[in-house]
């Protein structure tokens, strides 16, 4: 069962500032870092698949969630100190993490809590996935640091930090994705490096841009929350492995076109008849001409599948005859809950997207920043989704919990 405490734990990382002892060009948060890390992990994992040694995708997704939750509890510890403490006192720290999170996360369906405990306590569990996630972690840190470095060249200790990050990234050079990303930095055709660079720019696109909010969450932070909630909801309905993977990465990628168009708020899209269709058309064109060419050809079909008509329930016919869209959840459950159909629950991602938006408004209102437009938006979302049940998962109860 997904409780309001689970949702609030996810959002708590939006207020956890990174690099707060350095001069920064903007806000760097733990929530954005984890979102960027999971996009980079997807890139590395796809490269490993192309080599014939891909990961278990559910272990990769859950490993990312487990490590995120671990950092939520321990994030006040500076990274070098954190890594040293984990090497010396890992079991004690992990017990502390589990104790702190048991209340909201132990009730989650599908055995999530048991796997969380095993991931933290057993070094041999998900070893391949842990290596990929560790590489993604340091590449995301390196992406941040290259911006930080420009503002802190004369700061004592900055060169030591730079060397430490370079060493940590270099430890994963045996991964094809890491080699490709690093090699592309100095090339005219930047490929995968440019892809993760563009995705990183979603850290700086603040949602609800015309309204003051606290915390002022970004598009990338929003994507991680939607991905996590979609995954938890898919677990609760007992979805197949492929469907679970699509729930997470569908949530993580569903606003990817906004790196090319910016976050155009819904009232603007609806203000003039036909403008929403024009925005969609431009997003699709920009994806095809600017973003997808950065990826290997074999990856593009899946990204299109997750980002086009992103709120539609759909499957891909294994015979190759095309995509079936507009399916109702009961039909998805009865006929297409098998990996061969590549099932994607767009309606679930949409509901989690709207839940995340409502919570963004609700938390700001709770924090005392409550412009009338934000209060209206919260109420409007609530009225539409307050009774939402998808595949037996009562998401409406979460909307009701954040009304007051």
pLDDT score at 268: 47
Please check the confidence at residue 83 and state whether its pLDDT lies above 90: no
| 294 secondary structure, DSSP code | G
Q: Which of the residue ranges 15-24, 61-70, 305-314, 346-355 would you say has the lowest mean pLDDT?
A: 15-24
Task: Considering only residues 290 and 251, tell me which one the structure prediction assigns the higher pLDDT.
Answer: 251
- CATH 1.10.3210.10 in the chain is located at 4-181, 219-308+329-401
258-272: b or e for each residue (b if 16 or more CB lie within 10 Å)?
Answer: bbbeebebeeeeeee
Reported as a single tens digit per residue, the pLDDT across 227-243 is 999 999 999 999 999 99
Query: Who contacts 83 (Cβ-Cβ below 8 Å, separation ≥6)?
Result: none
The span from the first CA to the last CA of the chain, in angstroms, equals 21
pLDDT tens for each residue of 353-368: 999 999 999 999 999 9
Residue 206's beta-bridge partner residues? 218
Which residues on neighbouring strands pair with residue 389, listed in sequence order?
Answer: 394
Nearest to 395 by CA among 385, 384, 383, 381: 385
Q: For residue 75, what pLDDT band results from cuts at 50, 70 and 90?
A: confident
Give SS3 for 168: helix
The per-residue pLDDT for range 250-284, each reduced to its tens digit, is 999 998 888 777 655 555 455 556 666 777 777 78
**In 210-322, which residue ranges form alpha helices assigned H by DSSP?**
219-236, 241-253, 258-261, 266-271, 275-286, 297-307
pLDDT above 70 (res 78): no
pLDDT, residue 259, reads 78
CA atoms of 229 and 6, how far apart (whole Å): 9
Average pLDDT, the chain: 91
Res 335: pLDDT: 94
Q: What is the SS3 assignment for 185?
A: coil
Confidence of residue 74 (pLDDT cuts 50, 70, 90): confident
Q: Which residues contact 38 (CB under 8 A, 6 or more apart)?
A: 61, 64, 136, 224, 227, 252
Q: With left for phi above 0 and alpha for psi between -120 and 50, is residue 274 left, alpha or beta? A: left
- pLDDT, mean of residues 40-52: 96
Nearest to 97, CA basis, from 64, 63, 71, 129: 71
User: ∠103-107-108 over CA atoms, to 5°?
Assistant: 120
Q: Could you report the per-residue pLDDT of 322-375, keeping only the tens digit for each?
A: 999 999 999 999 999 999 999 999 999 999 999 999 999 999 999 999 999 999
pLDDT at res. 265: 52
d(CA 305, CA 166): 35
CATH code of 4-181, in short, is 1.10.3210.10
Residue 246's nearest CA partner among 327, 305, 319 is 305
* Kind of pairing between the strands at 313-316 and 393-394: unpaired
Task: Give the percent of the chain with pLDDT over 70.
Answer: 95
Q: What is the pLDDT of residue 262?
A: 61
- Cis peptide, bond prior to residue 215, ω within 30 of zero: yes
State pLDDT tens for residues 167-208.
Answer: 999 999 999 999 999 998 877 678 999 999 999 999 999 999
> CA 371, 377, 378, 380 torsion: positive or negative?
positive
Task: State pTM to two decimals.
Answer: 0.93
- Least confident stretch, 33-37, 256-260, 290-294: 256-260
Asked if residue 4 has pLDDT above 70, the reply is yes
Side-chain half-sphere CA neighbours of 260 within 13 A = 19
Above 60 in pLDDT, residue 87?
A: yes
Q: How many residues does the chain have?
A: 404
Compute the distance between CA of residue 259 and CA of residue 205 in angstroms, rounded to an integer.
8
Q: Rounded to the nearest 10 degrees, how much is the dihedral formed by the CA atoms of 236, 239, 243, 249?
A: 20
CATH code for the part of the protein at 219-308+329-401 = 1.10.3210.10
Q: Whole-angstrom Cα distance, residue 316 to residue 376? A: 38
To which H or E segment does residue 143 belong? helix 127-151
Q: Per mean pLDDT, which range of 18-32, 37-51, 235-249, 381-395 is the poorest?
A: 18-32
Those residues with Cβ within 8 angstroms of residue 340's Cβ, 6 or more apart along the chain or in another chain: 318
pLDDT of residue 189: 73
DSSP state of 212: -
pLDDT at 321: 80
């Amino acid at each position: 069962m997904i409780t309001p405490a689970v949702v609030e734990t996810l959002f708590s990382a939006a207020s956890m500032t990174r690099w707060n002892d350095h001069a920064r060009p903007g806000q760097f948060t733990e929530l954005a870092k984890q979102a960027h890390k999971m996009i980079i992990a997807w890139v590395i994992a796809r490269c490993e698949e192309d080599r014939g040694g891909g990961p278990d995708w559910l272990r990769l997704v859950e490993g990312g969630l487990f490590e995120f939750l671990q950092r939520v509890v321990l994030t006040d510890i500076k990274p070098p100190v954190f890594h040293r403490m984990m090497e010396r006192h890992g079991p004690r720290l992990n017990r502390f993490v589990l104790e702190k999170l048991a209340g909201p996360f132990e009730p989650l369906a599908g055995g999530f809590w048991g796997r969380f405990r095993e991931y933290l306590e057993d070094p041999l569990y998900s070893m391949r996935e842990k290596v990929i996630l560790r590489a993604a972690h340091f590449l995301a840190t390196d992406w941040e640091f290259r911006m930080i470095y420009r503002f802190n060249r004369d700061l004592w200790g900055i060169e030591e930090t730079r060397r430490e990050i370079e060493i940590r990234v270099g430890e994963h050079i045996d991964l094809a994705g890491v080699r490709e990303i690093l090699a592309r930095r100095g090339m005219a055709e930047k490929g995968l490096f440019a892809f993760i660079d563009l995705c990183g720019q979603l850290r700086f696109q603040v949602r609800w841009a015309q309204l003051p909010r606290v915390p002022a969450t970004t598009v990338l932070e929003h994507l991680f929350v939607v991905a996590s909630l979609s995954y938890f909801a898919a677990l609760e309905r007992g979805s197949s492995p492929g469907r679970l993977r699509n729930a997470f990465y569908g949530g993580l990628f569903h606003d990817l076109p906004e790196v090319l168009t910016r976050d155009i708020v819904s009232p603007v899209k609806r203000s003039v008849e036909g403008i929403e269709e024009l925005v969609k058309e431009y997003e699709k064109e920009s994806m095809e001409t600017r973003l997808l060419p950065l990826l290997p050809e074999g990856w593009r079909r899946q990204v299109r599948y997750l980002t086009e008509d992103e709120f539609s329930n759909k499957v891909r016919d294994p015979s190759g005859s095309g995509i079936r869209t507009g399916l109702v959840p009961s039909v998805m459950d009865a006929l297409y809950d098998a990996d061969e159909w590549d099932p994607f629950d767009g309606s679930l991602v949409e509901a989690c997207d709207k839940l995340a938006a409502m919570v963004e408004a609700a938390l700001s209102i709770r924090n005392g920043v409550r412009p009338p437009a934000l209060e209206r938006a919260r109420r409007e979302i609530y009225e539409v989704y307050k009774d939402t049940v998808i595949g037996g998962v009562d998401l409406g109860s979460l909307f009701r919990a954040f009304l007051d």
